[in-house]
Structure formats: C-alpha cells, structure tokens
Structure 1
Amino acid sequence: MTAMARTTNKTEAGGTARMVAALAKSLREQLGLSQEELGKLIGYTASAISAMETCAQPASDHMLVMLEKTIGGGLGVFEKAREFIRLDRYPPQFKDFVPMEAGAVTLSSYQTFVVDGLFQTEAYARALIGGGFPRLPEEKVEELVEARLARKALFDRDPTPLIELILDESVLRRPFGEWEVLRNQLRSLAADARRDNVCVQVLPLERGLRGDHAGARGDMQLVETRDHHRVVYMEIEDESTLVSDPSKVASLSHRYAKIRTQALSPDDSVGLIERIAEEVGT
C-alpha cells in the first residue's frame, strides 16, 4: 500500500472503521497480545493489524470474522460491524440506495453500458472497477469489489425479492479485462436468469429501427420497499439521483414498463445470452 493510499484511508475512514480499530486495539491490549501475536492467531501480518488499528487499511470482512472468533468475547460486535463496514465501502453516491436495495420487495433494473452490479462476477467487477479513470489504488479496488459482491446476498434473502433486469444487447458484447471475463460473466448471468425469483431480458440492438426506443434516455433502477414505497435510482458520472416523488416515480415506472415490452422474452433472452457467450472473442 502506498503512503498516499494509507493517508487517504485514514482521512476517509468511516465511524464504524474507527470504532472497530479502537475496540480491536483495546481488546488486544487487554488480552496482552502484541500486534504480531494477534496477527498469527487470525492469519494476518503484524503490519496488517497495525494498518487496521490506525485505519490505514480498515478491517476486511474476513478479518472481522476472525476478530470475532478470536477476541470478540461472544459480544458479536465485530460480527455486527461487518454490515456497517460494508456500507462504508460503497461510493458516496450509492450509499443511500444500498439499504433500499437490500430490503427491496421488487428490484427492477435497466442497464445500457455494463451488467448490473448485482449480477456481476468477481472478475468482471474487478476489471470494471480497476479499469476506470482516474485509477484507484489496488486496495480501494478490492474494497469496492468485496462490497459489490456482498450485494448478491439479495438473491437468496428470506423472503426472496422479485428481481428484474433488462440489458441493452450491447452490454452482452462489451468486454472488460479479457474476453474470458465476459464469457464467464454471460454464463453467470444466464444461470442467475434461471432463478425462480429472477427475470432477465435483453433489448435488441436493432430496436431503434422500428421507430421507437423507450430506453434511449439511459439507465434506471426501480425499487419497491418493504413498506411498498417506490423509488427510482439513477447514476451518471459518479453523481446520483434518488427519485421519490410519486408522480415522477410513476412516469419513470411507465417508461420502464415500455422498455420491458420492447425487450425479448425471458426465454429468448437467455438463449441469446448463451449464444453470445460462445461467440465473443472468437
């Protein structure tokens, strides 16, 4: 980790990371353990423990699990911190949306450039996040990848939500990193599409040739919350908009519904995804 990255992490560390750092250090000292000794117990170096305690590199999800087992004393504090540390890792523009997504009854997404983050494989997410501009430090890339993958818990949450995804066909043909990354992403997407609570559709490239294209104005994500409120999340160039005004939400919902009618059927969409997976990069 570079000195600049360490300084940035210390400055940007959230309240949960600081609380974890202080608690871990206090418990370690109460147990008479050095940083090296605690590191050996949980599978980390002394420098990693030092970085965690100074917030130069906040605790990873795995480190929190090991801290809970080793010095947590059955309090469950480090276990509970996992949820909030994960939230701290999300980009600022996305943090308000994350709890809504996690508690969604229905989640409907239309994406025109990349696969929705909820469906991304680890390799695809890493290539996408790591390849952006300006470049992020490797440690930050790993934090964001870990946070993005954690969102996949929504697929198997009880009760299971209804998850809909509409992708512009161009997304299926746009590689990041390597062609194999895209192939595996498409195979994973096809597998997810077969879940009972998931529907994936593809909006064909030639849709505009028919004289109307409801998806021409860009991405959106619609959420129905547990208390049956509906909101729409939109993001461009690291700036986000969370729409909750009922009349605006209704208008965007109608647009999404029109996009869905213009997309291929779920069965045809899965077939296309699988065919493209075999064709790309060959």
Structure 2
Amino acid sequence: MARSENKESAGPTTRLVAGMARRMRARKGWTQEQLGDRIGFTASAVSAMETCAQPASDAMLVQLEAALGDGLGLFEQAREYVRLDKYPAQFKNYALLEQKALGLHLYATLVVHGLFQTEEYARALIGGGYPPLPEHRVEELVEARMARRALFEREPVALIEVVLEESVLRRTIGSEEIMRGQMRHLAGCARQRNVTLQVLPLDAGLSGEYAGARGGMELVETPEHDRLVYLEMQGESLLIKDPAKVSALTQRYARIRAQALDRRESLGLIEQLAGEQR
C-alpha cells in the first residue's frame, strides 16, 4: 500500500510525471477511474500515481504513453528517470553510468551482484534486509533492480566481467529453491558471449596471497572511454575518478581475476551447486 510520506520524498521525475498525467487526463475530460479503465489499473492506483503516493511502475508508464502520450513519447522517455527515483540515494549517481557503460568489471564478495540476481533472490534479499522495509518499497526496489538487466540486451552490447566469491554461491538467500533458480540463471548468464563469469574459490588464499581481502568493487568504462571505480558498503558509496587510484584498483581487480577459476571451471561449479540444491 502506498504511504503518505512518499509524497514528501518523491523525486523530481516522479513529481513531473504525476503532474503531466493529471493535466493530460483532465484535458481529455477523464476521471481517474476512466483513465484506470483505459490503462488497466484501478482508480486508486491512478490517484496514488498522481499524488506521488506511489511512483508509476514501468508497466503503468507504458500504458500512460499509449493512452495520454499523443505520440510525443514523454512517458516513454520518463521511464528511465522514474526508475532512478526509486533507487537508494547512494546508488542513483552510479545507475546511469552502469546502464551506459561500454564495459563493466565487477567483484562481488557477499551476495550475487545485482545485475545477475533473479527476481526471487532480489525480493528475498531486499525483503530480509535491515532496517525492514514496507512491502511496497521492497517491490519498488525489486522492479528497479530487474530493470537494470536491460543492459544485457542493449545495443551496442556491453562487455561484462564478474568475479563472484564462492561463499556468495553457497550462502542461501530465501530458500534452497530460490538458490537453485539463481544458480541456473547464473549459468545462463555465463554462457552469454558478452559475459565472463568467474568464481574465486574458498581456498584461493592457500597460496599465501588473497587479492580480494579489501572487498568488492565495480570498474566502469564510459562511452567516452573514461575509467571509474564504484565502491559501496553499509549504505554509503564512493565514485573514484582519480586516474592513479583507478589504476591501482584496476591492477588489484586483475589480480583477483587471475586467482579465480577460469570460465569453464566456474560454470562447472555453478552447475554442480545448482544440482546440490534440493
């Protein structure tokens, strides 16, 4: 259920869409119920969108474009930015960089990276976090996280590398059934030509060297060929642009990748773990 406090915290694009929809509906002489009938939503859902109590979903924006857009594409264009309004504050600045990146080099140490999560895994992870979130906020965040996967289908194609700690694969989130689905999804991702997925095994430190000790990171190559590093921990984030620091972290990432299993071994381990989930 939408909450009144959302009206105060709604982002600028959410407010803009609400105002556009309200004025364009009034211009056509429709009530909220009549608009709802045309787009497949209840009058209360339309009201929640127009008052910013609940941001428009991707599905609602598609239907608003068809019903109210008059061929201008305003609601279609707003989809990306409404989605940004739904992200946590520390992630918003990075989200656009991620979606436009030429290349991503990712290292995930605690849970499956958000780009590779299934909907069920994401819902269990977000819904089980602390502090607890209301159900409608969990669903907003799940929807926004799933929308990030459009990067895999984008043209021009993005080249994506990800190194996952083996402990990430063995940590059950939600249920064994959810983990089985997550493992199968990872295996499918690993077979895509633009994706390189490797697993850093639990015994990686037996040689006396463990390059991943300082935590996860995300290396980004922008369309302008700039290289940046994004770090996030405990609800705080840092975007590093200094070339010397980016270079040092890039070299560390290369060492992490070198200590990981190769692509074929990693896929074999993921398939094995999928089979072990009962």
Query: TM-score scaled by structure 2?
Result: 0.98
- For residues 19 and 133 of structure 1, the distance between their equivalents in structure 2, rounded to whole angstroms, comes to 31
- For residues 179 and 22 of structure 2, the distance between their equivalents in structure 1, rounded to whole angstroms, comes to 43
- For residues 125 and 183 of structure 2, the distance between their equivalents in structure 1, rounded to whole angstroms, comes to 15
- For residues 184 and 58 of structure 1, the distance between their equivalents in structure 2, rounded to whole angstroms, comes to 29
Supply the RMSD in Å over aligned alpha carbons: 0.9
* Secondary structure at the counterpart of residue 196 of structure 1: coil
**Could you list the per-position Cα deviations for residues 22-51 of structure 1 after superposition, in whole angstroms to 9, with x for gaps in the alignment?**
111111111111111111111111111111
**Could you list the per-position Cα deviations for residues 93-150 of structure 1 after superposition, in whole angstroms to 9, with x for gaps in the alignment?**
0111111111111100001111110011111111111110111111111111111111
Is residue 139 of structure 1 aligned with residue 136 of structure 2? yes
Return the letter of the residue paired with 1:56. Answer: A
**Where does residue 38 of structure 2 map in the other structure?**
41
* Secondary structure at the counterpart of residue 6 of structure 1: coil
Question: Residue 178 of structure 1: which of 175, 178, 183 is its match?
Answer: 175
Is residue 112 of structure 1 aligned with residue 103 of structure 2? no
Question: Residue 56 of structure 1: which of 48, 53, 57 is its match?
Answer: 53
Return the letter of the residue paired with 2:163. Answer: I
- For residues 153 and 41 of structure 2, the distance between their equivalents in structure 1, rounded to whole angstroms, comes to 31
* Secondary structure at the counterpart of residue 3 of structure 2: helix
Question: Residue 126 of structure 2: which of 116, 126, 129 is its match?
Answer: 129
Alignment of 1:68-217 (within 5 A): 68-217=65-214
- For residues 38 and 99 of structure 2, the distance between their equivalents in structure 1, rounded to whole angstroms, comes to 33
* Secondary structure at the counterpart of residue 109 of structure 1: strand
Question: Residue 242 of structure 2: which of 241, 245, 267 is its match?
Answer: 245
Question: Residue 25 of structure 1: which of 22, 26, 35 is its match?
Answer: 22
The Cα of 1:72 is off from its aligned counterpart by 1.3
- For residues 55 and 195 of structure 2, the distance between their equivalents in structure 1, rounded to whole angstroms, comes to 34
Return the letter of the residue paired with 2:193. Answer: D
**Could you list the per-position Cα deviations for residues 136-190 of structure 1 after superposition, in whole angstroms to 9, with x for gaps in the alignment?**
1111111111111111111121111110000000000111111111110011001
- For residues 26 and 189 of structure 1, the distance between their equivalents in structure 2, rounded to whole angstroms, comes to 44
Return the letter of the residue paired with 1:155. Answer: F
Q: Which runs of 5+ in 1 are unaligned?
A: none
- For residues 193 and 105 of structure 1, the distance between their equivalents in structure 2, rounded to whole angstroms, comes to 18
- For residues 205 and 257 of structure 1, the distance between their equivalents in structure 2, rounded to whole angstroms, comes to 18
Q: Which runs of 5+ in 2 are unaligned?
A: none
Question: Residue 272 of structure 2: which of 249, 270, 275 is its match?
Answer: 275
**Could you list the per-position Cα deviations for residues 218-241 of structure 1 after superposition, in whole angstroms to 9, with x for gaps in the alignment?**
000000111111000010000001
- For residues 157 and 42 of structure 1, the distance between their equivalents in structure 2, rounded to whole angstroms, comes to 27
* Seq. identity, %: 60
* Secondary structure at the counterpart of residue 110 of structure 1: strand
The Cα of 1:74 is off from its aligned counterpart by 1.2
- For residues 248 and 240 of structure 2, the distance between their equivalents in structure 1, rounded to whole angstroms, comes to 11
**Where does residue 13 of structure 1 map in the other structure?**
10
Residues paired across the two proteins, number: 278
Once superposed, which parts of structure 1, at least 4 consecutive aligned residues long, lie more than 3 Å away? none
**Could you list the per-position Cα deviations for residues 182-227 of structure 1 after superposition, in whole angstroms to 9, with x for gaps in the alignment?**
1100110010011010000000101122211000110000001111
Return the letter of the residue paired with 2:56. Answer: A
- For residues 62 and 35 of structure 2, the distance between their equivalents in structure 1, rounded to whole angstroms, comes to 14
